Amino acid sequence: MMQLLLLVLPPLLCAATEPLPTPSSDGYLCPLGQFPCGNLSVCLPQALHCNGVDDCDNGADEENCVDTTGWLGVLGDMLAGNTGTEDEADTCCKPPSGLPSPPHHTGPSLPPQHIPSGPAVLEMFPEQCRCWGRAVDCTAQNLSTVPRISPNVTQLDLKRNKIHTLLDNQFTGCWSLRKLAAGPHQTWGTSLFPEDLFLQNNKIRVISPKAFAGLSQLRMLFLSHNRISQLLPHTFEDLNRLEWLILDNNRIARIAPATFSGLRSLYFLYMLNNSLAKIPDGSLCVETPKLSWLILRRNRLRWIQGGVFSGLSRLVELDLSCNGLDELPPSLFHGLVALQQLNISYNPLKEICPSQLESLPQLLSLSLEGLEIPNIHNVTFRGLANLSHIYFKKFQYCSSAPHVRSCKPNTDGISSFEHLLANIILRVFVWVIACITCLGNLCVICMRSCVVTESSAHTMAIKSLCCADGLMGIYLFVIGAFDLKYSGEYNRHAQGWMASVPCQLVGSLAMLSSEVSVLLLTYMTLEKYFSIVFPFSYRRAGRKQTASVLAAIWLLGLSLSIAPLCCKESFGNYYGRNGVCFPLQSELGERPSARGFSTTIYLGLNLAAFITIVFAYTGMFYSIRITTCRTAESSVCPRDVAIAKRFFFIVFTDALCWIPIFLLKLLSLLQVEIPGTITSWVVIFILPINSALNPILYTITTAPFQEKLLSDLAAFCDPEMRPRWLHRAASPRCITALHHRAASPRCITALHHRAAMGHQLTAPTHHQSSCISQ
């Protein structure tokens, strides 16, 4: 398809150099950052133009939104206007003398305006090839060398063959040849100009310096999709009328200083997807003064000497995207006074000099996608008065180009031009979930302080978990508050917000809450596991030991959360990658230390904790099930069901919270593009799941807590109204046996099962204290 489009030449250059039409104006001026609705005296902000919605009454805000700058746009206009047809001319080809006539071909013929001029007979051409007038088609004929053809041939198609080498004077006899091409997509029925020569999709490795000698009439040379690794000096020296040189999808690693010698008529140089590492200093501007389009996308350029393009005063489009450029000399674009489209996207650039683009007065389209621009400023784009389209990696950068009507992207899926939280549902539920999380955990802390049901060590762990989960609610409150603060004008403050101290602190607060909660849940789960599975050999930690473990967990969580703040050189703006200040996914340009840090936390520490919790609860249920199978109580089955339900919901909420985060992190490491919308929903709805439900799962729904709470409430209201079931505990036989330290196995197993179910025993024995209620 690319080669098909490239065959429109003479009108293209003329159209590209003509000034673009300017829409009529009634002289009404809009404030900076706003643009008029056509000829109406109504102005709309940049965010409402080209957003897919008709915000102007006349729909003018959605007009002229397609970027037609550069050769592709002009080419589209030319193709749209090429609708003339005529009757086909009667042409014939004769085979070389002494050879039989070729069989009749029924393939597509050239339209009359595309048929080569001159004599309608070729005396010499390969038998297996097709011929129209002076055009020969040898596509996919397994040719290993260039065939002998009459010298007056004007088009020669040799694509999809097995030609390995182009020797010296290979086409010397073809004095009329004007187009020599080698590409996979051109067909005779769509040829837009006569006299072609195609060499695409061969296996050409070597081109001799004199391979194109004598082709002084050649206008187009197509050598794409071959295996060319080097272009020798003076290879194209005789091609003084060549206008299009197509070299994409080869292996060209270097260009000699005199490679393009003689190409003084060259308009279009297409070197997409090669291995070019360096551009010779000054060679382009000296040898190709008429060059208008230069495509160097997807090469291996790491440095370009300043001033190398200074002589290209007619250059309209320059594409340097997808290379390895980490620095651009300030004078790189000097002299490009006609440049309309510049693409430097997806390079590892560290910064853009404020004066980098000031020498491009005619620039209409600028692509900076995939670039982190920490020093971005309004001054960088202020001199580009004609700029109509600009493309960034982050929509927040659009605030630095308020005079550009079309700035993309409009959103990162999390935030938009107007709001920190783009979706109205997120803006509402961030407050709802924050209230539920904070109030639920605060309520549990108060009730645990007033209602004593278990050992003080276990109560300390529960309170600590509530504090960690409460921090997540505070984080959501802060995000909601700043969303309200910046409502309607977020993009003006986006860069400042993401780099600000509040964003860094609230991001570290969310990380602290998340990691401490995970570590505490793991610790409490292991305590419960050892108490139930090994009730006799395991000795529970006391108050001091528990306090030490909790302190260590908080110190570890604090260290993990502030590490990115203390090592800015290694982590960069770790928390300020998005408006919610919480990095869940890796980015292409992320620093290696930051990538390793986040991977270690999410796919290392947190994943190991989740697996531990799953296996621990599975082991606990299995142990309790085995124990109850040995008892003769009739209430065993209902209790098994109750235990299974509790354990299932604990594991299920953990899985619901962490599995999406694990998948997001893994997909981002595999460089799978993840919409920002998913990240925002994960942060607001999924990440706080544990923080909101932990108070319910670990306190409010536990049987001992409910019994003790109801008992205290009943005693407070009327001691005589206390229900009998509140006094239920272990069987008298077991209590008596425990007091004498000689309980039978049946009683011990029954006690073990009752403790696992969370029933509070009345006898303060060692076995009783080793069973932690859920």
Three-state SS annotation for 24-40: CCCCCCCCCCEEECCCC
Summarize the confidence of residues 126-137 as an average pLDDT.
82
Give percent of the chain with pLDDT exceeding 70: 73
pLDDT single digits (tens) 379-401: 889 889 899 999 999 888 988 88
Lowest mean pLDDT, pick from 118-127, 629-638, 703-712, 731-740: 731-740
Give percent of the chain with pLDDT exceeding 90: 27
pLDDT at residue 429 tops 70: yes
Residue 357 CA, distance from chain mean position: 27
List C-alpha distances in Å: 501 to 430, 468, 573, 581, 590: 21, 21, 11, 11, 21
Angstrom distance (rounded) from CA 161 to CA 583: 51
Angstrom distance (rounded) from CA 603 to CA 607: 5
Amino acid at 229: S
What is the pLDDT, as a whole number, of residue 412?
84
- pLDDT band at residue 706 using 50, 70 and 90 as cut-offs: low
pLDDT single digits (tens) 15-25: 444 443 334 34
What is the pLDDT, as a whole number, of residue 378?
81
Summarize the confidence of residues 480-503 as an average pLDDT.
91
pLDDT at residue 403 tops 70: yes
pLDDT at residue 13 tops 90: no
More confident residue, 88 or 327: 327
What is the pLDDT, as a whole number, of residue 703?
64
Provide the terminal-to-terminal Cα distance of the chain, rounded to the nearest Å: 66
Angstrom distance (rounded) from CA 615 to CA 724: 38
Contact 227, 204 (CB under 8 A): yes
- pLDDT band at residue 638 using 50, 70 and 90 as cut-offs: low
- pLDDT band at residue 424 using 50, 70 and 90 as cut-offs: very high
pLDDT at residue 685 tops 80: yes
The CA radius of gyration of the chain, in Å to the nearest whole number, is 38
Summarize the confidence of residues 681-705 as an average pLDDT.
79
Pairing outcome for strands 254-255 and 230-231? parallel
Angstrom distance (rounded) from CA 46 to CA 30: 11
Query: 279-292+303-410 belongs to which CATH class?
Result: alpha beta
Closest CA to 624 of 750, 773, 772: 750
- pLDDT band at residue 580 using 50, 70 and 90 as cut-offs: very high
The pTM assigned to this predicted structure is: 0.72
pLDDT at residue 710 tops 50: yes
Summarize the confidence of residues 448-474 as an average pLDDT.
83
- pLDDT band at residue 486 using 50, 70 and 90 as cut-offs: very high
Contact 268, 293 (CB under 8 A): yes
Lowest mean pLDDT, pick from 107-111, 402-406, 726-730, 750-754: 107-111
Summarize the confidence of residues 731-760 as an average pLDDT.
39
pLDDT single digits (tens) 335-352: 899 999 999 999 999 888
Mean pLDDT over each residue of the chain, to the nearest integer: 77
What is the pLDDT, as a whole number, of residue 214?
82
Closest CA to 192 of 71, 335, 351, 83: 83
What is the pLDDT, as a whole number, of residue 336?
92
Angstrom distance (rounded) from CA 260 to CA 233: 8
- pLDDT band at residue 752 using 50, 70 and 90 as cut-offs: very low
Exposed (0-12), middle (13-18) or buried (19+): which is 375, by Cβ within 10 Å? Answer: exposed
More confident residue, 677 or 706: 677
pLDDT single digits (tens) 77-116: 544 555 443 333 333 344 333 333 333 333 333 333 344 4
- pLDDT band at residue 470 using 50, 70 and 90 as cut-offs: very high
pLDDT single digits (tens) 215-249: 888 888 889 999 999 888 889 998 888 899 999 99
* Alpha-carbon dihedral 705, 709, 714, 715, rounded to 10 degrees: 100
Summarize the confidence of residues 44-60 as an average pLDDT.
82
What is the pLDDT, as a whole number, of residue 693?
84
What is the pLDDT, as a whole number, of residue 253?
92
pLDDT at residue 582 tops 60: yes
Domains 279-292+303-410 and 424-720 share a fold: no
Instruction: Kindly report the three-state secondary structure assignment for every residue of 214-249.
Output: CCCCCCEEECCCCCCCEECCCCCCCCCCCCEEECCC
Summarize the confidence of residues 687-693 as an average pLDDT.
86
- Could you tell me which residues come within 8 angstroms of residue 7 by beta carbon, excluding any fewer than 6 positions away? 186, 191, 192, 193, 196, 220
Domain ranges of the chain: 279-292+303-410, 424-720
pLDDT single digits (tens) 527-565: 888 888 887 777 777 788 889 999 999 999 999 999 999
pLDDT at residue 402 tops 50: yes
pLDDT single digits (tens) 167-222: 888 777 565 555 554 444 444 333 333 345 578 889 999 999 888 888 888 888 88
What is the pLDDT, as a whole number, of residue 455?
65
What is the pLDDT, as a whole number, of residue 180?
52
Strands of 345-388, DSSP E: 365-368
What is the pLDDT, as a whole number, of residue 750?
42
pLDDT at residue 736 tops 60: no
For 45, the enclosing helix (H) or strand (E) is: strand 43-45
What is the pLDDT, as a whole number, of residue 186?
43
- pLDDT band at residue 640 using 50, 70 and 90 as cut-offs: low
Residue 309 CA, distance from chain mean position: 32
State the Cα angle at 161 between 158 and 164, rounded to 5°. Answer: 100
pLDDT single digits (tens) 257-278: 888 888 999 999 999 999 999 8
Query: 424-720 belongs to which CATH class?
Result: mainly alpha
pLDDT at residue 572 tops 70: yes
For 188, the enclosing helix (H) or strand (E) is: none
- pLDDT band at residue 716 using 50, 70 and 90 as cut-offs: low
Angstrom distance (rounded) from CA 56 to CA 161: 56
pLDDT at residue 484 tops 80: yes
Angstrom distance (rounded) from CA 64 to CA 44: 15
What is the pLDDT, as a whole number, of residue 475?
96
Lowest mean pLDDT, pick from 42-46, 283-287, 592-596, 655-659: 283-287
